[in-house]
Chain A
């Protein structure tokens, strides 16, 4: 009798314990979910904040703007900006949303073609053909079509020799601008995968070129590195010069031309994590 009662007590204690455990699990689960959603919400808020204070592509600004971004006694950057100023006079900023390289490239290139119809026709031919290359590689036609069409629409807009403001407006229309970014990402991905034998050696983390493209190239807001720039420059047969400005000592800014030995028409300024457009 006594032992029986004891057993009962133990089982009740056990049940209580179990109950506690499960309710704890539930709380953890809810927390985890709340945490997940909170992170997403916060990311959205940060994006929104960035969006409110930075247009997708800004007006062309005087170099003094760049100077004012850094403290006067920040000698490393002030010296480097002075060094850059010898070569360039203006800067055009892009929104730091992870797509800045593609947006800066897209805008700068089309802008440079506004008064060069011969190059524009050459570029149009390359761009027109690029969709077939992607479809042949296995990209689904009806999904990439919209992005390609938007890209071609912009090129056709340039053919009509619009005002610079018109082009700028298009690049500041989120829908148009993002579709152009998507298409440039697809072109980059397509070229990397076509030339996977070469690019395989430059990919970190034991990933295949395809995996790299799925994770680092095609999703929006994934930042660009050398490998992306090389691929896009070669895919569209456009030469890009990038000035690299960081906290390294030396007082001068190094630059790099993609692909090597090209005659660049586009000049970009790279500061860790971000690309803007430079003008002579």
Chain B
């Protein structure tokens, strides 16, 4: 690998360093570049304990732009998990969808910790997000251990160090949560913007585009990512039939249904306002009614006054007329 890349390139220098830093798997995360492409990495993260993802180990890709670390990495999950869509770029301020908040001093490790911290947060219609039920997520967490990645030859059962009771996950967890909160804070505003425009439908083309971007840096990327794409589709296929088992929950099942639901949620939200008003009605309504009555009285009085004036005018005019005629 050393001969293939320009070691003077800041991105190469940095990625080499990060690859060394992340060489050994930890109990919570592991990531390494693909053998033939320094600009595409595969990672595994452990689902945070005390969440629906407890016991799950999830796999995904990280695509790095040639400008890294000045531009953010893109993160794509490959294991069905119920929180992030499979095969689509994740919408965190840390990933490529919010380049404006990426910080060059963040690293791939930062991104991994952010993903872990972000898993238990609500999707709320952000791009690449899913809001499956806890049961579905737990089932997927169990199943996630069976996942084997053909591209990097990684099996989820052995991807990470085993959790031991003496291992100290709390410090890691706190770090992850803290980071996720920071990121969440910024994501909130952009998420709401996207939600209002109806979040959803991220598409393969952008993933491909990202793949292309990295091709300019590492020639072999396109082949790699094509194989990737082909491999992703069966993964989505697995996801396909499951939803039909629990349609009664009314949970987002496929992207299409999810959007339909979002739509209806929006409608609900619109409808919710008048529905919630009666709760507050007794107190605020009284003054409201009073002022209503007051304005009615005012209108009546003014109308009467106006009428009186008009009548007087007519009367006076007619009197003059009478005078003339007489």
**Minimum C-beta distance from B282 to chain A (A):** 33
Please, which residues of chain B bring their CB within 8 A of the CB of A28?
Answer: 197-198, 200, 259
Question: If A143-B106, A144-B105, A214-B182 touch, does A35 touch B197 (CB 8 Å cutoff)?
Answer: yes
**Minimum C-beta distance from B12 to chain A (A):** 11
Question: If A36-B97, A179-B10 touch, does A147 touch B17 (CB 8 Å cutoff)?
Answer: no
Nearest to B260 among chain A residues (CB) is A22
Q: Which of B75-83, B143-151, B201-209, B237-245 contacts A (4 or more CB under 8 A)?
A: B201-209
How would residues 1 to 20 of chain B score, 1 for a CB under 8 Å from any chain A CB and 0 otherwise?
A: 00000000110011001100
User: For the complex, what is the distance from the CA of A26 to the CA of B203, rounded to whole Å?
Assistant: 11
User: Is A146's CB under 8 angstroms from B10's CB?
Assistant: yes
Please, which residues of chain A bring their CB within 8 A of the CB of B110?
Answer: 140
Please, which residues of chain A bring their CB within 8 A of the CB of B101?
Answer: 214-215, 219
User: For the complex, what is the distance from the CA of A40 to the CA of B127, rounded to whole Å?
Assistant: 15
Interface of B is mostly: helix
Enumerate B87-102 residues with CB–CB distance to A below 8 Å.
Answer: 97, 99-102
User: For the complex, what is the distance from the CA of A126 to the CA of B110, rounded to whole Å?
Assistant: 28
The answer to the question of B107 belonging to the interface, with a C-beta cut-off of 8 Å to chain A, is yes
User: Is A29's CB under 8 angstroms from B198's CB?
Assistant: yes
How would residues 147 to 175 of chain B score, 1 for a CB under 8 Å from any chain A CB and 0 otherwise?
A: 00000000000000000000000000000
Question: If A33-B201, A142-B17, A143-B69 touch, does A186 touch B105 (CB 8 Å cutoff)?
Answer: yes
**Minimum C-beta distance from B252 to chain A (A):** 12
Please, which residues of chain A bring their CB within 8 A of the CB of B194?
Answer: 32, 36
User: For the complex, what is the distance from the CA of A175 to the CA of B6, rounded to whole Å?
Assistant: 14
User: For the complex, what is the distance from the CA of A201 to the CA of B206, rounded to whole Å?
Assistant: 42
Please, which residues of chain A bring their CB within 8 A of the CB of B236?
Answer: none
Please, which residues of chain B bring their CB within 8 A of the CB of A35?
Answer: 197
User: Is A25's CB under 8 angstroms from B105's CB?
Assistant: no
The answer to the question of A221 belonging to the interface, with a C-beta cut-off of 8 Å to chain B, is yes
User: Is B201's CB under 8 angstroms from A218's CB?
Assistant: no
The answer to the question of A211 belonging to the interface, with a C-beta cut-off of 8 Å to chain B, is yes
Please, which residues of chain A bring their CB within 8 A of the CB of B200?
Answer: 25-26, 28-29, 32
How would residues 4 to 43 of chain A score, 1 for a CB under 8 Å from any chain B CB and 0 otherwise?
A: 0000000000000010011011101111110111001000
The answer to the question of B303 belonging to the interface, with a C-beta cut-off of 8 Å to chain A, is no
**Minimum C-beta distance from B297 to chain A (A):** 45
**Minimum C-beta distance from B312 to chain A (A):** 57
**Minimum C-beta distance from B267 to chain A (A):** 10
Nearest to A186 among chain B residues (CB) is B105
Please, which residues of chain B bring their CB within 8 A of the CB of A182?
Answer: 70, 104-105
User: Is B262's CB under 8 angstroms from A25's CB?
Assistant: yes
Please, which residues of chain A bring their CB within 8 A of the CB of B105?
Answer: 139-140, 143-144, 147, 182, 186, 218
The answer to the question of B226 belonging to the interface, with a C-beta cut-off of 8 Å to chain A, is no
**Contact with B259, one of A25, A179, A215 (Cβ below 8 angstroms):** A25
Interface size on B, residues (CB 8 A): 41
Please, which residues of chain B bring their CB within 8 A of the CB of A139?
Answer: 105
Nearest to A145 among chain B residues (CB) is B17
**Minimum C-beta distance from A71 to chain B (A):** 34
Nearest to A211 among chain B residues (CB) is B185
The answer to the question of B263 belonging to the interface, with a C-beta cut-off of 8 Å to chain A, is yes
**Minimum C-beta distance from B116 to chain A (A):** 17
Q: Of residues A21, A33, A144, A178, which shows the largest number of chain B Cβ atoms within 10 Å of its Cβ?
A: A33
User: For the complex, what is the distance from the CA of A40 to the CA of B65, rounded to whole Å?
Assistant: 15
The answer to the question of B219 belonging to the interface, with a C-beta cut-off of 8 Å to chain A, is no
**Minimum C-beta distance from A224 to chain B (A):** 16
The answer to the question of A220 belonging to the interface, with a C-beta cut-off of 8 Å to chain B, is yes
The answer to the question of B199 belonging to the interface, with a C-beta cut-off of 8 Å to chain A, is yes
Enumerate B18-34 residues with CB–CB distance to A below 8 Å.
Answer: 18, 21
User: For the complex, what is the distance from the CA of A182 to the CA of B102, rounded to whole Å?
Assistant: 12
Question: If A37-B206, A40-B99, A146-B14 touch, does A21 touch B201 (CB 8 Å cutoff)?
Answer: no
How would residues 190 to 229 of chain A score, 1 for a CB under 8 Å from any chain B CB and 0 otherwise?
A: 0000000000000000000011001100111100000000
25 contacts between A and B (CB under 8 A): A22-B257, A22-B259, A24-B263, A25-B262, A26-B256, A28-B197, A28-B200, A29-B200, A29-B255, A30-B203, A32-B198, A35-B197, A36-B97, A36-B194, A37-B206, A139-B105, A140-B107, A142-B21, A143-B104, A146-B14, A178-B70, A186-B105, A214-B182, A215-B186, A220-B70
Additional A-B contact list (4), CB under 8 Å, known A25-B259, A33-B127: A21-B260, A25-B256, A32-B197, A37-B206
Question: What is A's interface to B at a CB cutoff of 8 Å?
Answer: 18, 21-22, 24-26, 28-33, 35-37, 40, 139-140, 142-147, 175, 178-179, 182, 186, 210-211, 214-215, 218-221
Query: Would you list the 9 A-B pairs with minimal beta carbon distance, nearest first?
Result: A29-B201, A29-B200, A25-B259, A28-B198, A218-B103, A32-B197, A22-B260, A182-B104, A143-B105
